[in-house]
Amino acid sequence: MATRRVAFTKSGTWKAPPGVNLAQVWAWAGGGGGGASKASNPLHCDAGGGGAGGFVRGSIPVLPGAKYVVTVGTGGATGSSAGTGPQLAGRPGGTTSLTDGTNQMLAATGGGGGLGGDNQAGFGGAGGAGFEPPINGFVAVGQPGTTGGSLTGCTQGNPQGGSAFADPAEPPPAGTASGGKGGMGGKPGASGNPGYLVITW
């Protein structure tokens, strides 16, 4: 029997077909947003890039005919270049999960937001993590975002968002779960990319 497959780029539901008792699931969480470079500070220090979303895959026991809830994590927003302190930081990416409506069966957490650039360059956001599912589980931490600035100052760092784990058995679309680029020159950064979830049976 040929393998069936459904991919989710946004939240939804999946109904286990008749006769299906086990499903293979791949899940990527949303990437964190890049921080913003403060517009009113003449230094215009670079902000940090957002961290990539975490990844998890595994085999999940399912009940034929039962409905399962898929939540696909959104990408985190960038910070505000007109803000101060925490307002400059990017927002974390959202969690991607599969539940039976009550119990969480599998989940990956979003990447952290990059810190803003003010009097110094912002640090990159941390990568998200995956929670191991019950059977044949594998998890991967998302790549962190890079810190703004350079060895000689708080600019010219070209801060990038982290990249998510690419499973060769189920390659995600380009850019999936990656973190947003950090802001430079007194401007905001980029938002993180949303997550992704695939079910096969």
Please tell me the distance from the alpha carbon of residue 201 to that of residue 196, in angstroms, as a whole number: 17
Q: Looking at the 3D structure of the chain, how many domains does it have?
A: 1
- pLDDT of 127 > 90? The answer is yes
Does 4 reside within a domain?
A: no
Does 17 reside within a domain?
A: no
Does 11 reside within a domain?
A: no
- pLDDT of 134 > 80? The answer is no
- CB atoms inside a 10 Å sphere around CB 8: 19
- pLDDT of 136 > 90? The answer is no
Q: Domain limits at 56?
A: 22-168+175-201
Cβ–Cβ < 8 Å for 74, 94 = yes
Quote the pLDDT of residue 77.
Answer: 98
Question: Mean pLDDT score of the chain, rounded to an integer?
Answer: 94
Does 8 reside within a domain?
A: no
Cβ–Cβ < 8 Å for 162, 30 = no
Does 12 reside within a domain?
A: no
Does 43 reside within a domain?
A: yes
Considering only residues 132 and 47, tell me which one the structure prediction assigns the higher pLDDT: 47
Segment 63-85, tens digit of pLDDT: 999 999 999 999 999 999 999 99
* Main-chain phi, psi angles of 88, to 5 degrees: -75, -20
* Main-chain phi, psi angles of 23, to 5 degrees: -125, 145
Phi-psi region of 158 (alpha: psi -120 to 50; beta: other; left: phi over 0): left
